[in-house]
Structure 1
């Protein structure tokens, strides 16, 4: 009698393809990496259409999103109706990560999943728990405040400037969309906290002292983990960001060697027996030189395409691991290799040049090292061609028009750092 197949596998034991839930630039890069290996890729998304324009995506399915009460039923029905049973399910957004991790047992009836269950993953996803675990492991992070009420926050002695973050990414609140909002003093802090508290509750708002400096001091650890240890890993530096003073997103990222980031990341991930793709963000505090932990992204990140350009094809490695094969020995990443989000980097560079913080020649020389672009690829040109008008529209509707609305209602001083 033949043994029953494990959940998420065909009777032959091989994975049938990859279903990616949500995401934008990181999802696009992952789809391209997998598609180059002739791996079938399906996209399930209710947000940006960008990855769905890729020729590497076989089909895009619209769905109500990870917050819908029937999200799990939708995904199980999708597998049954469209022959996706046995596919590897990879969440591409924060809300999707939480959904999949919290529902691994149910989703594993149809999909293979490379992600820890929520009782472990929550320790790096929920920021209060992340910083508690960091303290237990003697990892540095910025001084952080958390309040039980607005009154408590109003009485607290806060060292400004600070940033406000949601407890966890995902959702459609103002704070969730912005990811972080800066407040330089009490006058700007109080109204921002009150609006955030009215949407998600004050106990879900994390207030953290702002580490001075721009993106040049921000570093990331990027990796694929399996069975509680790294399969492949490298570190990178955020050379430029948008907006330039407090970045919503990276615009120029380059491979650098940061052993201290590797050491800190390993200690954190070992503590939860991590599994899957991950990016961990740090920032070097220019006041004391200490590298401080900021956030963890247990999903494909925006500059995921830099990995394969640097000689570490994490997408291909995920596929090998999912099929029970050896991913091969990691090669050394090509130091200095860079990734660029051209549309927004041009804006960031123009601002930095006007402020005297970047030379024209230095900016032009940075193109020499670019081996990966956020959207453009010769073998898959459509996303890159459509990205410019889509980005312009998103900036107009999500930033310019919203700012105008705030001004009309007397809320122009909110210091939004939105997309």
Structure 2
């Protein structure tokens, strides 16, 4: 719940601009937020081209990507040759988060890095460590199974349905899918063998699927500065695609859930967090507990909701880095964000299954104040999003057939 900038007499030298590594819709929203503040934004990406079409992208560059052996050297050379020393460096995707955090000592010689070092951050990024830390703090998590071999997994008595998830996002097919659902033992074993072959047994997380749909999915969104929250608010991820355990949110609305804030503060405070962050939860209808699912220390898909709700995390981030104070304000209620291209499909499936009425779906457009790609001041990304999405879907299907 957040903020308006207020000048501080002790203004320090601010960075000359921002470099964002990778990311898609969250990166686009952050670039727009910073661009509105007249901040030069450099986009360096090896994947989706969407943010590059923004008028707020000062410069765009491709690179070998965060998994390349020369990634750190590339960034240091970029800073030296393009005059980016002192720029704020923000990772926009999970592999970029890992690279920047693990290489923070080297990268800090050229950039102002907005992340904790990996020895702290790994406790919320790597899911097995996240769940261990949550248990240490007496915070609720889904029932999670730990296996060290295929034989052990085959002999286990599981509570179905279960979900298989990668320990952290990456470039593999499994990491891009984000989750695989298994409703029975045979399906589970097939999925487990495939996912273990993709990323290794030690990196596959197996959990029970918590009952409930979008009404049970919540998030804590915030900006932290050196171990303390500067601005924070809570939201419900009411619809997603796919509808049962989506890899992307499609309709998100501001809600008031104080318990989320208490839980997230305990978790993030334990690692002395620094930077942007979203913590994902699901309320278990069986006991009412809010269970931690994931932590994203980067711009997330629906990052644009923050500015629309009066909590402009990007502007606040820049204000802090410019030596300004930020005064706390609350996020505006009855404010929503929509990813229209995906939400039409998600809503269609929910309507056809009787879980959503057409009238309720049409009413949900009323409070929408932010869109995943479209903005009146920056229309081009919204215009190209549909053909880009169609192309990605076709390519996935072609690769699946092959």
- Name the TM-score class by shorter chain: over 0.9
Instruction: Tell me if 1:378 matches 2:376.
Output: yes
1:95-106 matches, within 5 Å, as 95-106=95-106
Partner of 1:6 in structure 2? none
Secondary structure of the structure 2 residue equivalent to 1:329: strand
Q: In structure 1, how many angstroms separate the alpha carbons of the residues matched to 2:256 and 2:195?
A: 38
Q: Which residue of 1 aligns with 2:165?
A: 165
Q: Secondary structure at the match of 2:285?
A: coil
The superposition leaves residues 55-80 of structure 1 with CA deviations (integer Å, 9 ceiling, x where unpaired) of 00011110011000000000000111
| Distance (whole Å) between structure 1 residues aligned to residue 25 and residue 110 of structure 2 | 26
Structure 1 CA distance, aligned partners of 2:141 and 2:334?
27
What pairs with 1:197-212 in structure 2 (closer than 5 Å)?
A: 197-212=196-211
Q: Note the C-alpha offset of 1:156.
A: 1.4
Cα distance in 1 for partners of 2:320, 2:114 equals 9
**TM-score, structure 1 normalization:** 0.92
1:275 aligns with 274
State how far apart, in whole Å, the 1-side matches of 2:46 and 2:99 are.
Answer: 15
1:287, 1:396 → 2: CA distance? 39
Quote the offset at 1:401 in angstroms: 2.6
Q: How far is 1:403 from its partner?
A: 4.1
- Residue-pair matches, total: 391
Which of these residues, 382, 395, 398, is aligned with residue 401 of structure 1?
398
d(CA) in 1 for partners of 2:226, 2:111: 18
Query: If the length of structure 2 is used for normalisation, what is the TM-score?
Result: 0.96
Structure 2: give runs of 5+ residues left out of the alignment.
Answer: 1-11
Higher relative contact order (CA 8 A, sep 6+): 2
Shift of 1:200: 1.4
Instruction: Point out 4+ residue stretches in structure 1 off by more than 6 angstroms.
Output: none
* Equivalent position SS for 1:367: coil
The alignment yields a C-alpha RMSD, in angstroms, of 1.0
Gaps (5+ residues) in structure 1? 1-11, 406-419
- Counterpart of 1:336 in structure 2 is 334
Tell whether 2:75 aligns with 1:75: yes
The within-5 A match list for 1:20-419 is 20-170=20-170, 172-326=171-325, 328-398=326-396, 400-405=397-402
The answer to whether the 8 Å contact 1:146/1:205 transfers is no
CA–CA separation in structure 2 for the residues paired with 1:233 and 1:149:
41
